Amino acid sequence: MDRSTKLHFMNRIDDKLSELPWYVTEYIDSRKRKLAHTTLLNYCHDYIIFFDWLVTEQSSAASRKDVGLNQLEILTVREVENFLSFLEYQLGNNKYTINRKLSALKSLFDYLQNKAETQDLKPYIQRNVMAKMEFNSVNETQETIANRIEGKILREDDFEHFRQFVAHDYGIQNKANARISRFHEINRERDTAIVSLILGSGLRLSEVAGINLEDLDVIKGQVRVLRKGNKEQYVYFSKQALWDLESYLKIRESRYGAEKSEHYLFMAAPIGRKGKSRRLTPRSIEKLIEKYAAAYGKPALTVHSLRHSFATRYHLENNDVPRLKNQLGHSSIQTTMIYTHLTDEEMRNAVNNMDKSKSE
C-alpha cells in the first residue's frame, strides 16, 4: 500500500474517530502499527454501531462521543446479549459478522482493562463485561461451507463468457441507453482488466485496489501485493490477465488523464471539468462487479466469489493445495481445503466419463 493510499485510509479513520469517545481514539492509535488500515476502519464502523445502540438504549449520553468509561463498566451481560440480538434481528447480521463485531469490542475492552493506564497507574475500567461474552458457535464443516459457496462462483466456460460480457456484451445489451453505453465504452478495458486479474490470480478486493504501476512485473506475470498482516508477496496472474492489463495500460494515461505522479494502477475517471483522476476505491470495484453480475444474470457474483472461482479452477486443474494456499495468501491450509470439496462434483463427473468411455 503506497503512501497516498495509507493517507486516504488514515483520513477516513480519523473522520470516524472524531465521532467516537476519546478512549476509542487512543485504542486505535495503539493498534496502527500492528493492524491493517482496512481492519482499523472496520473496527471504527463496528464501534459506531455499538455506541449508537448504547445511546439509544441507555439514554445517559447525548451522543456516542459522550459515552463515558463508567457506562462501559456497568454494562451487564444481559444488555450485551440484547445488543448481539439487535445485530442479528434488527440489522440482519449473520453469525460470522456478529462474531467479528464482538471480537472488535473484546479487543477494545481488553485494552481499557489490561493495557491502558491512568496517571496514577490504574486501569481505565475495573470490570470488563466483554470478557464474559462467548462467540457464536459456528460448526459448519468445510463441505458445508463449500456447498454454500457453490452457487456463487463461475465454472469452466463461464470464466471467458463473463470476461467477454464485461468487455463487449454489456455495451451491446445497453446500446439503447446512450449514457450507459458511453460509460461502458470509456471503462471497458479497465473493468475487463480487473475481472481478468481476479479470475486469473485470486487476489482479494483490497489487494486489487491497492496495486501501483511499479507493483506489476509483466515479464514474470507477477504483481506485488500487501496481504493480511501487512505481509508483502509477489503473486502470479494468468496470461489472459496479462493481455487485458496490457490493453488497459495502453489507454490508461490518455483515457483517465493520469499524471506521472499518479502511480495507482486502476483509476477512476475525473469528475467535472477541473476534476482530477483518482484511485479506484475498493467500494467502486465492488459496485462495478455487482453491476456486471446483475446484468449477466448472476447477481450473487461478487469480488470474493470471483476469488473463489479462481481457487476452485486452480485446484481442479492442478490439485496442489500448498501452492494454492500460498497463491491465495491463506494463513492456514485448513482454509484452502474448502476448495477440495468444491471440486467433488467435477471429480464425480470425471469418474463417470471414464466408465462411459469403457462401455463404448
Strand partners of residue 231: 227
Residue 69 CA, chain-centre distance (Å), reads: 32
The per-residue pLDDT for range 290-337, each reduced to its tens digit, is 999 999 988 888 898 899 888 888 887 887 888 989 898 888 777 777
Output the 3-class SS for 101-115: HHHHHHHHHHHHHHC
Long-range contacts of 219-228 (CB under 8 A, 24+ apart): 223/197, 225/329, 226/1, 226/36, 227/329, 228/36, 228/329, 228/331
Question: What's domain 3-139's architecture?
Answer: Orthogonal Bundle (1.10)
Whether the pLDDT of residue 60 is over 90: the answer is: no
Within the chain, strands assigned E span: 216-217, 222-227, 231-236, 267-268, 278-279
CA distances from 228 to 39, 102, 290, 337 (A): 9, 20, 24, 19
What's the pLDDT score for residue 154? 82
User: What pLDDT does 71 receive?
Assistant: 93
Give the pLDDT confidence score for residue 196 in this predicted structure.
96
Q: How far is CA 150 from the centre of its chain?
A: 19
Overall size of the chain counted in residues: 360
- pLDDT tens for residues 203-251? 999 999 999 999 999 999 999 998 877 788 999 999 999 999 999 999 9
Is the model more confident about 137 or about 114? 114
Q: What pLDDT score was predicted for residue 69? A: 95
248-263 pLDDT, tens digit per residue, is 999 999 898 888 888 8
In this prediction, residue 356 has a pLDDT band, given cuts at 50, 70 and 90, of low
- Residue 134 phi/psi, 5° resolution? -105, 145
- Output the pLDDT for position 210: 92
**Mean of per-residue pLDDT scores for the chain:** 86
Q: Pick the more confident residue, 347 or 100.
A: 100
Cα–Cα distance measured from residue 120 to residue 141, given in angstroms and rounded to the nearest whole number? 49
In the chain, CATH 1.10.443.10 sits at: 144-347
Task: Read off the pTM.
Answer: 0.61
Residue 71 vs residues 58, 123, 353: alpha-carbon distances, Å: 9, 15, 66
Superfamily in which the 144-347 domain is placed by CATH: Intergrase catalytic core (1.10.443.10)
Q: What is residue 226's predicted lDDT score, i.e. its pLDDT?
A: 86
- High-pLDDT (> 70) share of the chain, %: 87
| pLDDT attached to residue 161 | 93
Residues catalogued as catalytic: 204, 228, 304, 307, 330, 339
Give the residue range(s) of CATH 1.10.150 domains in the chain.
3-139
Does pLDDT of 127 surpass 80?
Answer: yes
Q: How far apart are CA 256 and CA 277, in angstroms?
A: 6
